[in-house]
Structure 1
Amino acid sequence: MRSPTRPALLAAGWAAAAALVLVAPGNLVMRLAFGMFDDPGLGRQSLLAALGVLLALATVRLGTRTAVRPQERRADGTVRPALWARTATWTAAGLPVLGFSVPHLLWGLGLPLGVAGGSRAELAGLGGSAVFWALLVAGPVAGGLLTLGLIARWGQVFPAWVPFAGGRRVPRCLAAVPAAAVGMLVGQYGAMMTGCLAFGVTRTCAPGGGAEVLDGSWGFAGTYPVFLLWGTSLLAAAAGYLHTTARARLSDS
């Protein structure tokens, strides 16, 4: 399929899948994670998200089956991911570090970058919290390093030093499912809150109040688009991993 049909179908598939997974369900994954099952629209939103995931998988399959470029093998036999997969993965690994860890690092050190006067006092005590440093500074860095496994050799084959599994092929779900789940979690939240920033914070976005904390604090508000871009790139990285490993299996069969 070398005609314009292939890129058009792939673009349409990815656009529709992104809308169904990130926008249509609202903040679905976070509500499920916190046990908020009383929303009457939960069933409909779950169905839309499931349809988006199925469409994304179908699009990955289409891209894999109709790929026109030859597959590149590394010296150890693992497959070298396509450029778009490597780009998406590096983006997904770097965004949470630059857009989340770095601002929180500065805030923890007492530098209120992008924070209005009313919120500066609340940031003063963050530097003494171990939970703050572990979750909001070190956590995204660790997540970024794990994300790079989607394009690394050890994301396809376990290193030799891993007990009982060294040298064996990594189960695809072991890498793809956590990446997709986190991508949906942060991406849905980012899509919802970025929309609220663009069109005005409403009761839907801040039902318990507290929207005033964003007044003049572009450092806080800027994390919402970061979540959206992080989630989108992480989902693309997971799709790239599935594409890479599927092509490896096709060539081995």
Structure 2
Amino acid sequence: MSRWRTGTGGGWWRLLTRWPSWAGYAAAGWSLAYGLLGVWWTVGGDGFPFGPVDEDHRTGSILEGSSAGVVAPIMAVVGLAGAVAALLMARGLLAGRWAFGLVAAGWSIAVALTLVIPDYTMLALLAFSPLLLVFAFTGVPGEQEGLGDILYWHRTNLVLLFVCGLLWAATTLAYQRRVRAACPHCGRGRGAADPGPSRETLLRWGHRAVLVAWLAPLPYEVTRVAWYLGFPLGITEDFLRMMQDTPGMLEVGLGCAVASTVGGALTNGLVSRWGEVYPRWIWFKAGRPVPPALAVVPASVVAIVLIPAGLMVVWTPELRGGGWAMSVPALLWIVWGVALGAATIAYHRRRRGTCTHCSSGDDVPGRVVTMSG
């Protein structure tokens, strides 16, 4: 395998930028841990994270309520075999059909752990993270006794699996690039010019994706505002009355609608000049280039967590009762996540310059592109 020189920097950022060198080992360790837990649960050990639980602690995972006798052995086999596969990818071993098999298995595990098995937990944690930080010091208001009533084991397990899925995605991407003798960091060949569509073409694609990402959450935003104002748009009168009688329920929905609207406005930065150069109203940074990672990282995270939250509605029949507004807006989160992901990829491809690890690409990193005509 070719050796690629490491980038500059220090601390956590340097560690993150060197993800191809450690992601495989992290995925192997995580998979080994879950494989051993699968063995433990197979022989009757406590703590199986998908078993039957009281209604207040159920999750929306597709595996919720499953039998340990069926799922635990699968977790053991996949976890232990996955640990071996991740190590092989981390070491850059195997080629030909074996390499194809590893890549196929890697992406299958990554998709299952990040998009299929989780529910809305990651989206909720992302949306309410400021409140959770406050609750850690002040206590959780209402009937809950503490953060343990919010981040209980069934739910925490989904967070851990999601993180493992991200590690598997990073591992598989890096290995796939190494197999085709490309830079594991940027995906380009040594010294090669930036391949693919032009920046102008990527900007046009980005505009279309941003438009879809802006329209997809509108039904969610409109219905939640209508409920707060007392209009049962898309739900029954009884359901609206129940929410009105539940302290804080309508306010939470309104807050989520406002956050969604703000997020939609920020999405425009992926195709606007102010998403590439700090505008005048950010006086301490005005005129300086916006670091691409400042937009790519949060947009990527939001895009990924939206999809499992939308898919949850597909295999949770209870969420489809009470009117169309209980399911249709959430199903559109899948469209929202895909569109936001596409817009983010276009932004990243448009703004990336010379790779600091392999020196491939343009000499003008992050050049600002605007639409003409």
TM-score normalized by structure 1?
A: 0.67
Match of 2:257 in 1: 137
Amino acid at match of 2:199: Q
CA distance in 2, matches of 1:21, 1:65: 32
CA distance in 1, matches of 2:331, 2:224: 16
Task: Describe the shift of the 1:112–1:37 C-alpha distance in structure 2 as closer, same or farther (beyond 3 A).
Answer: same
Match of 2:208 in 1: 87
Match of 1:206 in 2: none
Match of 1:252 in 2: 364
* Structure 2: runs of 5+ lacking an equivalent: 1-102, 127-149, 178-183, 355-360, 366-373
CA distance in 2, matches of 1:180, 1:52: 13
Match of 2:230 in 1: 110
Q: Is the 8 A contact 1:23 1:188 kept in 2?
A: yes
Identity of aligned residues (%): 23
Q: Is the 8 A contact 1:21 1:52 kept in 2?
A: no
Amino acid at match of 1:194: V
**What is the CA distance between 1:60 and its match in structure 2?**
10
1:139-158 map, 5 Å: 139-158=259-278
Q: Structure 1 stretches (4+) deviating beyond 4 angstroms?
A: 30-45, 53-64, 123-126
Q: Say if 2:308 is the partner of 1:195.
A: no
Match of 1:173 in 2: 293
Of structures 1 and 2, the larger Rg is shown by 2
SS at match of 2:280: coil
**What is the CA distance between 1:179 and its match in structure 2?**
1.2
Deviations 1:165-190 (A, max 9, x none): 11111112211111122222222211
Normalized per residue, which structure has more helix? 1
User: Which of residues 21, 29, 39 is equivalent to 2:122?
Assistant: 29
**Count of aligned residue pairs for this structure pair:** 216
* Structure 1: runs of 5+ lacking an equivalent: 1-11, 73-79, 202-210
**What is the CA distance between 1:157 and its match in structure 2?**
1.0
TM-score normalized by structure 2?
A: 0.48
Match of 1:19 in 2: 111
SS at match of 2:352: helix
Amino acid at match of 2:295: A
**What is the CA distance between 1:32 and its match in structure 2?**
6.8
Q: Is the 8 A contact 2:310 2:331 kept in 1?
A: yes
SS at match of 1:166: coil
Task: Describe the shift of the 1:122–1:176 C-alpha distance in structure 2 as closer, same or farther (beyond 3 A).
Answer: same
**What is the CA distance between 1:115 and its match in structure 2?**
0.8
Amino acid at match of 2:204: L
User: Which of residues 215, 220, 224 is equivalent to 1:100?
Assistant: 220
Task: Describe the shift of the 1:31–1:144 C-alpha distance in structure 2 as closer, same or farther (beyond 3 A).
Answer: closer
User: Which of residues 324, 335, 349 is equivalent to 1:243?
Assistant: 349
Q: Higher relative CO (CA 8 A, sep ≥ 6), structure 1 or 2?
A: 1
Amino acid at match of 2:122: V
CA distance in 1, matches of 2:123, 2:194: 34
**What is the CA distance between 1:21 and its match in structure 2?**
6.8
**What is the CA distance between 1:42 and its match in structure 2?**
5.9
CA distance in 2, matches of 1:36, 1:251: 50
Match of 2:169 in 1: 52
